[in-house]
Chain A
Amino acid sequence: MTLEIAAILGIDGVANGAIYILVAIGLVLIFTVTRVIFVPFGDIAAFTALTLAALENRQVPGTISLVIALAVIAALIEVVSLVRRGDLHAVPRALLFYLGLPLLVVALVRFGIGFELPMAARIALAILLVLPIAPLLDRIIFRPIADASVLLLLIVSVSLHFALSGLGLLFFGPEGVRTQPLTEAAFDVAGILISGQTILIVVTSVIFSIGLYLFFDYTLTGKALHATAVNRTGARLMGIRPARSGAIAYILGSLMAGTSGVLIAPVNTIFYDSGFLLGLKAFVGAIIGGLVGYPSTALGALFVGLLESFASFQSSALKEVIVFSLLIPILIWRSLASTHSEEDIEE
């Protein structure tokens, strides 16, 4: 391997890593706030890409039916549970959040299809349409079992992924898509060609990371989310609703997954089930980071990206094997290195 090849692989790896950072940070965000390892996260990214492709062809994306179906089910469940509790005055608000807002987004997208929209508007609509999916799934599936063990939540989450890829096939069909390039620009840096796409990916990832840092450190909502992650009971005693924190975490996470979907769709062909590998690799990155801190997660995800890039140079067929085999030594190392505090044992 020459230095030049290493540099090219390195740049490629950083770009991959930047994508994994977006998804991995979203995963950690949702996990710390809700204790759910949201395996279908990669599916959200894939669905965004598929939605964007449909919008580019001025077709009605399958996401619309999916969102309508989920919104109706979630609204029904919420209203029934409110009526049972005798909490009738909360019904209009619940209908607004679980039915009104998702349908408003659907209407906006449906309206937008009628026009020749600029790329930025298409991207915004695609991400907007995907945002309600995770919070609605949370309401339908995870809220009723919010106090279950992490393992049970994980098992449900895995089955939810399989259900979603089935729905993906139903709503989007089996064809793969590739969206229009976001930029054609390319830069020659010391003899190595760096595409504008790569730079865009890295810059987006950096912007999101900084934005998230500012959100957690400087806003009351961000602090409340952090507090829910640190101590649920403590948060409830201060009037912070874990369910609301969870919904915000799902929306923020979906924003990051959706963005990553938009960023990879021009360079990779995306199928209805492409999200799984993306989510799984981001998950490996998050595990390397210990599923807790955001900087460590970002480093873990970057490492996975670089490893994947160099592994594919050594043996393209074995690159997934190399990345996933990495989990075993890392889990052993983590279980040896971590010290269990008294509080952990109590729980």
Chain B
Amino acid sequence: MSLLSVENVSVSYGKVEAVRGVSLSVEAGRVATVIGPNGAGKTTLLTAVMGLLPYKGRILYDGMDLSKLDVEARVERGLCLVPEKRELFSEMSVSDNLILGAYSRRDRNNVARDLDAVYDRFPRLRERRSQLAGTLSGGERQMLALGRALMTKPRLLMLDEPSLGLAPLIVREIFHVIGSLRDLGVSLLLVEQNARAALETADFGYVLETGELASAGPSKDLIHDPRLIATYLGEH
């Protein structure tokens, strides 16, 4: 059974329909990606799944209709979004940011252990744990956003443009970490403009164009699709 299934979902900003009748699913333990150009509605879709925007259609998570749950209740059930703007607590320390990631968890006894695990995954964060989040570099901020999301103990982690604005070397590091999250049993929904890196990480891909699904398929097929190569991927 799919962990997340989005069924015929539309999202509007006033009269403008940014997402139209999109259906997609994320299987448990798998990585799915949504690629597409700027303004295709990728961020809007994630924001709606998280509950920050009203939508039409149906979104099922673990077989449960999400429409009655607010953002906080979705977080309690293991849904987590790392937004494009990261939304860190910039005037608070790195360690406070991470500790707050575990705010809604019931298993308080495991929090210290998980904090250690996040520091092991991102040694840079351990070095800077007492520094204010606002003083971190772009790459470190993304690591903190990812670390904070992991502290929520997500079952489905949604990442919006994790590579945006980062140096190529850091992008590689971030994607390496994203790939390794699979081992934790976390399912991922990844939204990216960096289509090649996203498809190389994901099992399944969706292409969104002007609010509608243009194509979908296993990543290894999409990566060889001549039309996608021409528009998004370029020659390797």
Contact = CB atoms under 8 A, between A and B. Distances in A.
Contacts, number: 67
A238 B100 CA distance: 7
B96 A239 contact: no
Given A223-B96, A226-B92, A230-B90, A240 B104 contact: yes
A234 interface: yes
Interface string A186-200: 000000000000000
B169 to A, nearest CB: 25
B101 interface: yes
A223 B75 contact: no
A87 B67 CA distance: 11
Interface string A227-250: 100110111111111000000000
B49 to A, nearest CB: 12
Interface residues of A, number: 20
A205 B88 CA distance: 32
B72 interface: yes
Contact of A227 (B68, B71, B83, B92): B92
B50 interface: yes
A234 B87 contact: yes
A224 B68 contact: no
B155 interface: no
B99 A220 contact: yes
Contacts of B99: 220, 223
A209 B89 CA distance: 23
A240 to B, nearest CB: 5
Given A220-B99, A220-B103, A224-B103, A237 B89 contact: no
A237 B80 contact: yes
Given A86-B68, A223-B96, A239 B76 contact: yes
A238 B52 contact: no
A233 B53 CA distance: 12
Given A223-B100, A238-B148, A233 B52 contact: yes
A53 to B, nearest CB: 42
Is the interface on chain B under 10, 10 to 19, 20 to 34, or 35 or more residues? 20 to 34
B221 interface: no
Given A237-B81, A238-B75, A239-B76, A231 B103 contact: no
A234 B101 contact: no
A230 B132 CA distance: 12
B152 interface: yes
A234 B89 contact: yes
A240 B72 contact: yes
A230 B88 CA distance: 9
Contacts of A340: none
A226 B89 contact: yes
A240 B101 CA distance: 9
Contacts of A237: 50, 71, 75, 80-81, 83, 87
A231 B83 CA distance: 13
Interface of B: 50, 52, 68, 71-72, 75-76, 80-81, 83, 87-92, 96, 99-101, 103-104, 148, 152
Given A230-B91, A233-B83, 18 more contacts: A220-B103, A223-B92, A223-B99, A226-B89, A227-B92, A227-B96, A230-B90, A231-B88, A231-B90, A235-B100, A237-B71, A237-B81, A237-B83, A238-B101, A238-B152, A239-B71, A239-B152, A343-B90
Q: Which 9 pairs, one residue from A and one from B, show the smallest C-beta to C-beta distance?
A: A239-B104, A234-B87, A239-B75, A230-B89, A239-B72, A236-B71, A227-B89, A230-B91, A241-B72
